[in-house]
Structure 1
Amino acid sequence: MTVKIGTRGSQLAMWQTKWVRKKLLSNFPDIRMEIIVIKTTGDKILDSPLSRIGDKGLFTRELDIALLKGEIDLAVHSMKDIPTIFDPGLAIGAVTERWDPRDALISRRGIKLSELPQGAIIATGSLRRKAQLLHFRPDLKIVDIRGNVPTRLEKFDKSDWDGMILATAGLHRLDLEKRISEIVSSDILLPAVGQGCFGILIRKNDEKIINILKSLDQPEIADAVDAERSMLRKLEGGCQVPIGALGECTDKHVHLQGCIASLDGQRFFRDKITFPREKALEAGIALADRLTDAGGGEILEEIRKSIK
């Protein structure tokens, strides 16, 4: 049997796909695992901020099509890139273990976020990070950046920027943790939904692949991420909206934090909620409603009108 694994071609995407293949081969040594690289829209458009080019499947759509056509059997993604609504012929076959979901600051001489000079310039391609950074430090100047992790680090090294924000997990996977000046507390920067783990998309009801992926799936992580994604889906959020979330599971409960911020960070709504684990989806909906009622709904409406 041959299993065709679809992936984007970036260094980080290849790392996570090879990680998945290695795990699967350790459990199914007789199965041939073939990696197929597919370029996505998000990989092709590098001269515009993500918030300007739309966000529905930017890094997944082409892989979805390949799955539906039977050209690949599964697609490995950073969980944060998988839209909360996707083709009904597909399903998430596994959610992997989670690396540190927090964001990291890369700065000159190891300076921490609170120690950066007044008016410091910070690079990020994320509206979520921008809004929360400005809420924490309104004096900061935020510049946009695109590209894979090595490209962003190269741009930073050649720039006059004071700092840059990247995902901690990605830096660790590429053995670049030495570049981290500070892992920013989630009290300051709530991460993106699903940040730190992988999601594996498959064709719905593909029993052979479902059985193969059982060894990778982490139910505790999946429940936490389900709560995060449920919140995001209710808020109809994505790259164009500054929304952060972080779920954690104990034996019987899911604990979910979430936030909505205006683009300038001046208006900021954050809350948390605890539900039984079996009601993770309801937890996300309930927290979304709380944030909306607190004032986050007005922010979302303003942002949607501005991008129409």
Structure 2
Amino acid sequence: MSRVIRVGTRRSLLAKTQSGQVASAIAERLGVEVELVEIVTEGDVNQTSTLASLGGTGVFVSALREALLRGDVDVAVHSLKDLPTTPEDGIALAAIPPREDPRDVLVARDGLTLGELPSGSVVATGSPRRVAQLRALGLGLEIVGLRGNIDTRLGRVTSGDVDGVILARAGLARIDRLDVVTEAIDPLQMLPAPGQGALAIECRSSDAGLVAELAEALDDEHTRAAVTAERELLRALEAGCSAPVGALADVAEGDHGPEVWLRAVASAVDGTVELRRSASGPVSEAAEIGRRLAASMLDEGAAALIEGKQQA
């Protein structure tokens, strides 16, 4: 009897596409049969409440993890930016494949860029991080909330309900919809969410053999180092995945081998104050780089911004 690995996925097009890509890679590299198992999450069912009121983007993760721990699936695939930074008992982050382009993008009417949208234009996003950085740009935009799957979000623009929406480029790339993008936003203007563009492949920590196989077959060392720095910064700031915090780490060759360069921003949601800082160091110290930069930002008042007190 052939070995079958069950991969859990949410039901959205993006989730199934991401999970399908991981399932194909597992089948090819481990030489096993793979089955996709659809799991419904509260975030999928409730499309009216804000993510923050549902508990942040971690609401998309919990149902998959519960299915994993029950033994209903053997592997769960998540967008890494949705994962809480605190480890979950019984769950192992077995692999982080090579990352997609982590930038945010604008999809706007008439092919316009952010700088070309007239003052007063309506731009939709469901992310406090994006709201804060958009407002800090001082473009005079009206910013409104956004929920739903990718087609629903894009439909807000095509219907004329809003002038533009901000989305993660990686999601559009994975479902082959980059043709709708009118601008890839420079991280100097808008830093992405920690972990954005990367996938997380989880399995039960007790399944040591599968953990080792997935790590060997699918894990990308440089992607893991970059997102480790970003997520350690987020954890040390004690900010949830829906907080107005952006971070992006790159791995580049330094004088003494590969180095991590981490940039981060903590913002007041009204855009009046931004704290942008950076740090770098060896790849082997990725987690420490994140913690060190977070400590520096906390010393300069980042907690007040994250908590909405706006007094950095």
Normalized against structure 2, the TM-score is what?
0.93
Residues 216-248 of structure 1: per-residue CA shift (max 9 Å, x gap) = 100110010000010011112224410000011
Aligned to 2:160: 159
Contact between 1:127 and 1:239, CA under 8 Å: does it hold in 2?
A: no
2:269 aligned with 1:268, yes or no? no
Partners of 2:81 and 2:65 in 1: CA distance: 15
TM-superposed deviation, 1:71: 1.3
SS at match of 1:145: coil
Contact 1:241 1:303 in 2 (8 A): no
| 8 Å contact kept, 1:126–1:239 | no
Q: Distance in 2 between matches of 1:205 and 1:188?
A: 43
CA distance in 2, matches of 1:22, 1:12: 15
> Which deviates more, 177-186 or 18-27?
18-27
Q: Distance in 2 between matches of 1:87 and 1:239?
A: 16
Alignment partner, residue 149 of structure 1: 150
Task: Tell whether 2:287 aligns with 1:286.
Answer: no
Q: What is the CA–CA distance in structure 2 between the aligned matches of 1:148 and 1:292, rounded to whole Å?
A: 35
Out of 188-197 and 243-252, give the one that drifted further. Answer: 243-252
Contact 1:122-1:162 at 8 Å conserved across structures: yes
| 2-structure distance, mates of 1:35, 1:287 | 39
Once the two structures are TM-superposed, the CA of residue 138 in structure 1 deviates from its matched residue by 5.1
In the alignment, is residue 245 of structure 1 matched against residue 247 of structure 2? yes
Match of 2:217 among 212, 215, 220: 215
> Do the aligned residues in 2 keep the contact of 1:50 with 1:239 (CA within 8 Å)?
no
Instruction: Confirm whether residue 2 of structure 1 aligns to residue 14 of structure 2.
Output: no
Specify every segment of 5 or more residues in structure 2 that has no aligned partner in the other structure, as ranges: none
Aligned match of 2:25: 23
Code of the residue aligned with 2:273 in structure 1: it is R
> Matched residue of 1:252: which SS?
strand
For 2:76 and 2:263, locate their aligned partners in 1 and report how far apart those are by CA, in whole Å: 28
Instruction: State the match for 1:40 in structure 2.
Output: 41
Question: Which residue of structure 1 aligns with residue 95 of structure 2?
Answer: 94
Q: Is the 8 A contact 2:245 2:306 kept in 1?
A: no
Contact 1:54–1:239, Cα closer than 8 Å, also in 2: no
8 Å CA contact 1:98–1:196 kept in 2: the answer is: yes
**1:256 equivalent in alignment to 2:262:** yes
Q: CA deviation at 1:55?
A: 1.9
In 1, Cα distance between equivalents of 2:184 and 2:293: 26
State the identity as a percent.
Answer: 39
| Aligned twin of 1:235 | 237
CA distance in 1, matches of 2:155, 2:305: 35
Equivalent residue letter for 1:217:
D
**Structure 1: where are the runs of 5+ without partners?**
none
Q: Is residue 106 of structure 1 aligned with residue 110 of structure 2? A: no
**What residue is the counterpart of 2:182 in the other structure?**
181
Q: For 2:220 and 2:30, how far apart are their aligned partners in 1? A: 18
Q: What corresponds to 1:170 in structure 2? A: 171
Q: Aligned pairs, how many?
A: 303
Residues 77 and 200 in structure 1, CA contact (< 8 A), matched pair in contact too = yes
Corresponding residue for residue 133 of structure 2: 132
Which of 274, 299, 306 lines up with 1:300 in the alignment?
A: 306
User: 1:56 Cα deviation (Å)?
Assistant: 6.7
Q: What letter matches 1:23 in structure 2?
A: A
* Greater CA drift, 134-143 or 206-215: 206-215
2:51 maps to 50
